Amino acid sequence: MSRVPGTRLAARLRRLPGRWLAAALIAAAALALLVPGVSYATAGQSDAADTGCLGVTPATFPAMGFITNPNRHQAGHLWWRRTSDGGVCIGTVVEWVQYNAPMTKTWEVTVYTAAHPNGLTVKQRTFALNQGWYFWSFGVHQVFSGLTSVCITASDSFGVSCIDFGPAQG
């Protein structure tokens, strides 16, 4: 699916039958179809990423405030793996956000490492969207030394959900 400028956002939103929800969560990075009432957020530029770092192990962000999927089972998910030198490769990060009214929010992926204990935003995208549930796939594809956690948010007031990777290593 090509991503288009925000002015054509409404025309590019896609829908997916409910039976495909589980598959969409697992393969959200590859799918551009959506559940009824859920839309795929679109933006002006593609999220080009270095594919040298691919995660293979799934991890789920807990639902937190408006950072949630329609069933409120998760805020999103990511794929990760340990590297031979003790770092952690973070592949694709998928974030779900619920909008109760039309508004603009900046969605972010922030990593916390030994070198960045206060957090480092590695991906972000701003969306002006209508009421509904939306998800977006961020291609992070980076290795982080001393990774302690990865968090997702949509303009902090919407909630922050994190996956803990334990104490800093390396």
Q: Is the distance from CB of 75 to CB of 67 less than 8 angstroms?
A: yes
pLDDT at 64: 94
Phi, psi of 154 (to 5 degrees): -135, 95
Q: Are strands 57-61 and 103-113 parallel, antiparallel or unpaired?
A: unpaired
Task: Give the integer Cα–Cα distance in Å for 91 and 58.
Answer: 10
Count of beta carbons in the 10 Å neighbourhood of residue 82: 14
CA torsion angle for 38, 69, 135, 19 (degrees, to 10)?
-50
Q: What is the pLDDT of residue 170?
A: 52
CB distance 55 to 79 below 8 Å: yes
In contact, 154 and 98? CB cutoff 8 Å:
no
The answer to whether the predicted template modeling score (pTM) of the entire model surpasses 0.85 is: no
State the pLDDT at residue 52: 76
3-class secondary structure, 90: strand
pLDDT tens string for the chain (170 positions)? 333 334 333 333 333 344 333 343 344 433 333 344 455 554 433 333 445 798 899 999 999 999 999 999 999 999 999 999 999 999 999 999 999 999 999 999 999 999 999 999 999 999 999 999 999 999 999 999 999 999 999 987 788 999 999 876 55
